[in-house]
Amino acid sequence: MTDLGADGADGGPVRHIPVMLDEVLGSLCPVPGEVHVDGTFGAGGYTRAILETGASVVAIDRDPDAIAGGRDLAETYSGRLQLVQGRFSQLDEIARQCGHASVDGVVLDIGVSSMQIDEGGRGFSFQKDGPLDMRMAQSGISAADVVNLAEQSVLTRVLGIYGEEKRASQIARAIVKRREAKPFADTLDLANLVESTVGRKHSDRIHPATRTFQALRVFVNQELEELGAALFAAERILKPGGRLTVVTFHSLEDRMVKRFLADRAGGIGGSRHLPEVATHAPVFVQKKRGAILASEAEAQINPRSRSAKLRTGERTAEAAWTPDFSIFGLPDLDLVRAVRTGR
Ligand SMILES: C[S@@+](CC[C@H](N)C(=O)[O-])C[C@H]1O[C@@H](n2cnc3c(N)ncnc32)[C@H](O)[C@@H]1O
């Protein structure tokens, strides 16, 4: 595994340790002359390893801090690394703008980086005091906007859908009651409210606010919509034989990737809503069915890798299918988005 100086020994922020790097390289199989898209540049762990094989990389991240942190790498590998601030839902357009009509590989490492979690000022962690922000792109609506402005029924849906929080309505009710007296401004304030609302047992493996924070982060950054659109974008830009590799960290996202690959490999016969799609030939082959997990050795070194699941597919020569979000079996995201914009 590539060492990115993760010990934070200088007292500075801990660098992100790339998860399942060997497995990612094993499924992308980059070789000199190829072009790969890293849709989640982060601290550049995957990108650096791909560059070291001699392949070129178009690396994307929506977080301006991640892009700024990658400048030295872009200089070191100038000519082979194009670093772009943007959203991976547009990875096909970004690759084309970088001069590539098609690419040999696409990798996505879904979620937040250690730098984002560890930097209290970004507001992602319920264990660090900071503004209730959570915006990866550092623009748009923040987590504070959601908890202070959304109607109770919307909050309940956000927590239930995006956090799979069973006590969503109880927590939403408590949030609305509390904000009438004083709006939420920081992370610990919200974490404490959730803990006092649902309580905490000794046997609980996770902090009671874990799912609330996950829900707000996923909602604020439209992570499920982004992932779905990115999978369709990868389908459009990968050349025949190109490899798609996705690492996810929670069940909602893994289910989306699993359904996408099963659908596109013909496993579930296309969309129920677009029956004509079912007659299309498969656009992906799943050489390895099922998810690949991190080794026990890696999990010992990097506990974050314990929840990682890697799925991979190889593009066939067939034309891309029509994108159809219904294959993911998600609740009506448009409804939630409509409520978000107040329309
Ligand atoms: C888990 S980290 C990636 C770490 C990286 N693989 C490495 O080895 O350093 C995820 C990164 O993806 C970025 N990200 C999340 N959603 C994104 C999106 N929709 N578009 C672009 N970047 C995104 C985050 O800002 C974060 O920097």
SS3 letters for 116-159? Answer: HHHCHHHCCCCCCCCECCCCCCCCCCCHHHHHHHCCHHHHHHHH
CATH number of 21-114+223-330: 3.40.50.150
pLDDT number for residue 195:
96
- Ligand 1 centre to CA of 289 (Å) is 25
- The CB of 46 under 6 Å from ligand 1? The reply is yes
In this structure, of 14-23, 46-55, 103-112, 181-190, the range with the lowest mean pLDDT score is: 14-23
pLDDT bin (cut points 50, 70, 90) of residue 6 is very low
- The CB of 118 under 6 Å from ligand 1? The reply is no
* Each residue's pLDDT tens digit, 239-277: 999 999 999 999 999 999 999 999 999 855 445 555 554
pLDDT bin (cut points 50, 70, 90) of residue 2 is very low
Percent of the chain with pLDDT over 90: 79
* Each residue's pLDDT tens digit, 130-173: 999 999 999 999 999 999 999 999 999 999 999 999 999 999 99
Residue to substitute in 136, 225, 298 for testing ligand 1 pocket (most ligand atoms within 8 angstroms of CB): 136
Percent of the chain with pLDDT over 70: 89
Give the residue whose CA is nearest to atom 20 of ligand 1: 87
Residue to substitute in 2, 14, 38, 61 for testing ligand 1 pocket (most ligand atoms within 8 angstroms of CB): 61
The pTM of this model reads 0.91
> Contact 100/35 with Cβ under 8 angstroms?
yes
pLDDT of 222 strictly over 90? yes
- The CB of 225 under 6 Å from ligand 1? The reply is no
293 forms bridges with which residues in the sheet? 309
pLDDT of 308 strictly over 50? yes
Domain 138-220 adopts which CATH fold?
DNA polymerase; domain 1 (1.10.150)
What residue ranges do the domains of the chain occupy? 21-114+223-330, 138-220
Mean pLDDT computed over 302-326: 96
- The CB of 16 under 6 Å from ligand 1? The reply is yes
Q: What is the number of the ligand 1 atom nearest to the C-alpha of 18?
A: 8
Q: Which two tokens stand for residue 172?
A: 């939403």
Half-sphere exposure of 73 (CA within 13 A, CB side): 26
- The CB of 87 under 6 Å from ligand 1? The reply is yes
> Contact 126/187 with Cβ under 8 angstroms?
yes
- The CB of 115 under 6 Å from ligand 1? The reply is no
- The CB of 69 under 6 Å from ligand 1? The reply is no
| Other Cβ atoms within 10 Å of 57 Cβ, number | 31
Cα–Cα distance measured from residue 180 to residue 184, given in angstroms and rounded to the nearest whole number:
10
pLDDT of 48 strictly over 60? yes
pLDDT bin (cut points 50, 70, 90) of residue 343 is very low
- The CB of 122 under 6 Å from ligand 1? The reply is no
- The CB of 227 under 6 Å from ligand 1? The reply is no
